[in-house]
A = this chain, B = another copy of it.
Amino acid sequence: MSQLPQQPTPAPVPTSADVARLAGVSRATVSYVLNNNTTMRISEATRRRVKEAARDLGYVPHAAARSLRAGRTRTVLLPVGAVPEAPPHQQVVSELQAGLRRLDYTVVQYGSGGLAPDEAARAWAELRPVAVVVPPALSLTPYGRAVLTRSGARAVITLGAQPVDGAHALVMDQREVGACAVRHLLARGCRRIGVVAPADTVMAPSAAPRLEGARRAAERAGAHVEPLPLRYDEDDAAELARHWRRRALDAVFTCNDEYAMLLLRAFQDAGVEVPGEVALVGADDLMLGRLLRPRLTTVRAEIAPAQPLAELIDALVTRPGGPPEHHDLLRARVVPRESG
């Protein structure tokens, strides 16, 4: 079609007025037709003319103008931080997106890396979202919550481990994963448990709470938990394995199966026997755990389906009010195999 190189003055963007002019009707009529507004009766002939004109011009309505006029949006904002979230969260986002789309919301992920929490909240509020879902890696202050509410957000939801004053919380508490692993190891008689906490940025968001959960579960039973910082790096793992015996630990929980594999390999190279000398438990139930020898015992975090979450958001939007609710989206379960 338009083979011409772009003009220095680009063709103006067609508006509903242009459509009206081309179809020989008023802007009001254009609006009625294109929105299938049934309260007004428009003749079939006019309908056709308007639609044709819109198509010919390549007319697309201006979302900002529309929502400005309407006084509200159907935008659900999902801020995203600089580093990607843990996989279970990704899955929630993906399902949530689909569920909200079905309910006719517009889901927008908004890059907010590098902003201070309150700045970020203001930036989100500028978009006048009807709901905001804050991921675990980003923080929302009570002030931020207030700004969003005052700017018209009918649902403010956090997905982190700890709820924010006044916001609804859908807790994905990764601490339960660590706690679950430790309880399993305690049941098997382990008393001195190392927890591999990656220093890595990518893994950090889920690792820190998992370590925390492990620690608390151990404390409650009077057992010992020792944090083992480890880079995702063969040399670092070999180093850890080399001086293993002097730590006198009888079990390790790695916050992730991939770290478990790394450590398992290092143990094997160093002659430390798994599970004989040390029990090993990973997390996330990745396929690779099944392929290792010994097969890897792991903790699987199961996420509640996100469709109800989408419906909760919709309910909050249509009927706001009621006290903040807290739900737990995550349930942890041990998948026992051979390593521990």
Contact = CB atoms under 8 A, between A and B. Distances in A.
Interface of A: 1-2, 5-6, 8, 10-11, 13-14, 58, 60-65, 67-68, 73, 80, 82-84, 90, 94, 97-98, 101, 106-111, 113-114, 122, 125-128, 142, 146-147, 149-152, 154, 232, 234, 258, 261-262, 265, 287-288, 290-291, 320-323
A110 B261 CA distance: 36
A71 to B, nearest CB: 9
B113 A291 contact: no
A279 B45 CA distance: 69
A304 to B, nearest CB: 20
A320 B8 CA distance: 8
Contact of A68 (B5, B65, B97, B127): B65
A150 B5 contact: no
Given A68-B65, A109-B111, A150-B58, A288 B258 contact: yes
B65 A80 contact: no
B232 A258 contact: no
A320 B149 CA distance: 39
Nearest to A70: B64
Contacts of A113: 97-98, 101
Nearest to A67: B64
A334 to B, nearest CB: 20
B68 A82 contact: no
13 contacts: A6-B149, A10-B320, A13-B128, A60-B125, A63-B126, A64-B65, A84-B94, A97-B111, A101-B113, A108-B110, A262-B287, A262-B291, A265-B291
A147 B59 CA distance: 8
B6 A321 contact: yes
B101 A107 contact: no
Contacts of A323: 5
Residue among A58, A60, A287, A321 with max Cβ neighbours from chain B (10 Å):
A60
A234 B146 CA distance: 51
Across chains A and B, which 8 residue pairs bring their CB atoms closest together, nearest first?
A109-B109, A64-B64, A63-B126, A97-B111, A60-B125, A107-B111, A265-B291, A58-B150
